């Protein structure tokens, strides 16, 4: 297992990328694989329409793994909650023949990287009963939390209605259920990001922070009448 896993960890025949127009044709395969995975585990899932998944691809908010040029191997997407203060990496799926080889970890790393790039100040979170996901999240730097630490956006919790355990969540007034809540708070990892977050991403994140800080300074000065320019001065 260990040898096999090491081989696949460096397997260049599986390409993991941000999904784009080349991948629109995989939407139904993705949804079927998610459905089968959830049936096998005996849990519910947040059911997504083909349009929703397609839209995630169009927005550049989905990660896809393709083996040998055209075989679907895995998928995950990111979505925001509570006015973009929270990001969730959702819909993680690895096709059965590619499981147990480190692929979910590689996909989650890419989704995490995308989340940090798109929403540098947002907290990243997930809820799961799956040991694999708990392991991957813990390695990235997530910590287990109670649901009170997560988004209170009702739209997020509405997704749990499709889960077989929804009655437990409802009975507990949305404060606890069988899933473990996991949270990555970037404020707790300043200067201490995962080593696999590449240098380019780190530079972009820093640049974004500077731009946001400058915007704040300029808007304060504008409000007090000392600055006559516009915020557009410091946009790309
Ligand atoms: C869960 C799933 C995504 C894991 O994909 P994978 O590619 O096999 O996972 P990886 O090989 O990257 O494994 C990551 C870690 O989890 C462990 N792991 C993988 N599958 C596991 C399982 N079923 N039970 C316990 N641990 C598991 C691995 O040993 C590895 O741990 P390590 O880093 O300590 O060695 C895949 O089995 C799947 O798609 N299942 C159906 C859908 C699902 O459950 N999605 C998650 C929803 S929360």
Distance from the alpha carbon of residue 214 to the mean position of ligand 1, in angstroms:
42
Distance from the alpha carbon of residue 127 to the mean position of ligand 1, in angstroms:
15
pLDDT bucket at 169, cuts 50 / 70 / 90: very high
pLDDT bucket at 222, cuts 50 / 70 / 90: low
pLDDT at 198: 58
Three-state DSSP class for residue 45: coil
Cα(91)–Cα(133) distance, integer angstroms: 11
Predicted TM-score of the model (pTM): 0.83
pLDDT in tens, 94-114: 999 999 999 999 999 999 999
Cα(113)–Cα(143) distance, integer angstroms: 17
Residues 6+ apart with CB under 8 A from 160: 44, 46, 166, 169, 177
H or E element in which residue 63 lies: strand 62-67
pLDDT bucket at 229, cuts 50 / 70 / 90: very low
| Residue having the nearest C-alpha atom to atom 23 of ligand 1 | 132
- Is 60 exceeded by the pLDDT of residue 233? no
Q: Edge-to-edge strand order for the sheet containing 14-18? A: 14-18, 62-67, 71-81, 86-94, 123-128, 180-184, 143-145
Ligand 1 atom nearest residue 37's Cα: 41
Distance from the alpha carbon of residue 17 to the mean position of ligand 1, in angstroms:
19
**Mutational pocket test of ligand 1: of 104, 194, 196, the residue with most ligand atoms within 8 Å of the beta carbon:** 104
Q: Which residues sit with their C-beta closer than 6 Å to ligand 1? A: 37, 41, 92-94, 99-105, 128, 130-133, 135-136
Overall average pLDDT of the 17-26 stretch: 98
Three-state DSSP class for residue 224: coil
pLDDT at 157: 95
Tokens of 233: 């001065």
pLDDT bucket at 41, cuts 50 / 70 / 90: confident
**Mutational pocket test of ligand 1: of 132, 139, 181, the residue with most ligand atoms within 8 Å of the beta carbon:** 132
Distance from the alpha carbon of residue 9 to the mean position of ligand 1, in angstroms:
14
pLDDT in tens, 118-153: 999 999 999 999 999 999 999 999 999 999 999 999
**Average pLDDT, whole number, for the chain?**
86
């Amino acid at each position: 297992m260990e040898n096999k896993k090491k081989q696949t960890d460096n397997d260049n025949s599986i390409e993991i990328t941000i999904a784009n127009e080349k991948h629109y044709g995989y939407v139904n395969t993705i949804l079927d694989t998610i459905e089968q995975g959830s049936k096998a585990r005996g849990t519910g899932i947040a059911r997504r329409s083909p349009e929703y998944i397609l839209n995630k691809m169009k927005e550049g908010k989905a990660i896809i793994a393709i083996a040998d040029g055209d075989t679907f191997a895995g998928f995950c997407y990111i979505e925001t909650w509570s006015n973009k203060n929270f990001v969730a990496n959702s819909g993680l799926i690895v096709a059965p023949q590619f499981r147990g080889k480190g692929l979910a970890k590689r996909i989650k790393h890419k989704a995490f990287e995308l989340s940090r790039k798109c929403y540098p100040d947002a907290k990243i979170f997930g809820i799961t009963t799956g040991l694999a996901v708990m392991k991957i999240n813990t390695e990235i730097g997530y910590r287990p939390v109670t649901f009170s630490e997560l988004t209170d956006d009702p739209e997020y919790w509405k997704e749990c209605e499709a889960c077989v355990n929804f009655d437990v969540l409802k009975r507990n007034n949305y404060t606890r259920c069988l899933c473990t809540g996991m949270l990555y708070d970037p404020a707790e990892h300043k200067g201490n990001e995962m080593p696999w977050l590449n240098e380019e991403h780190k530079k972009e994140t820093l640049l974004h922070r500077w731009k946001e800080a400058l915007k704040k300074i300029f808007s304060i000065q504008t409000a007090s009448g000392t600055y006559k320019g516009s915020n557009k001065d410091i946009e790309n």
